[in-house]
Amino acid sequence: MDGVTIIPFGGKTPVIHPTAFVAPGARIIGDVEIGPEASIWYNVVIRADVNRIRIGARTNVQDGTIIHCDSPKPGLPEGNPTIIGDDVLIGHMAMVHGCTLHDRAFVGLGSIVMDGCTVESGGMLAAGAMLTPGKTIPARQLWAGRPARQLREIPHEGLAAQQAGVAHYVELAKAHAQAIRRR
């Protein structure tokens, strides 16, 4: 993985599935697992130095995103790991911290998901939105704003478009990996 920084930390080394794409400039630190056909794009930072981070199959983490976790503390002995399911789309420059994104969740570009939050399957956080600590976006709801609030239900066509986006990024990642190998 040319140009990728992988740093073991606290006795934990990142585990990256061989079919995952990790772009040059990405930084992956500590207790991180990245699943099959996931794509971690240019200049993404995934730092699991105080808890664990899991990223599922075919999940797409776009350029400039930061993913971190929350450390254990009094009253919260497990802290908040960051658990990201399968087929999740995370837009450019998002900040994802100590939260859970279920399978097929969507986090828009430039948005923030804070400690203890959950985005359920098919839930969407709009571009530029901020989901404040402990909030949950239920399945098939679109939330927007700072702080984020429910905007509307997501129609079946919206969910289908999201799944098309997942397939698109799996193929795009393969093309980028091939272009990088040809350099």
pLDDT tens-digit map of 17-47: 999 999 999 999 999 999 999 999 999 999 9
pLDDT tens-digit map of 47-82: 999 999 999 999 999 999 999 999 999 989 999 999
| Residue 168 lies in domain | 5-182
Largest CA distance in the chain: 51
pLDDT tens-digit map of 105-135: 999 999 999 999 999 999 999 999 999 999 9
Q: What is the CATH number of the domain that holds 117?
A: 2.160.10.10
Question: What distance in Å separates the CA atoms of residue 17 and residue 35, rounded to the nearest whole number?
Answer: 5
Q: Which of 33, 41, 23 has its CA nearest to residue 181?
A: 23
- pTM for this prediction: 0.95
Q: Please give the tally of structural domains in the chain.
A: 1
Question: What distance in Å separates the CA atoms of residue 76 and residue 94, rounded to the nearest whole number?
Answer: 25
**Phi-psi group of 43: left, alpha or beta (phi > 0 → left; psi -120 to 50 → alpha; rest → beta):** left
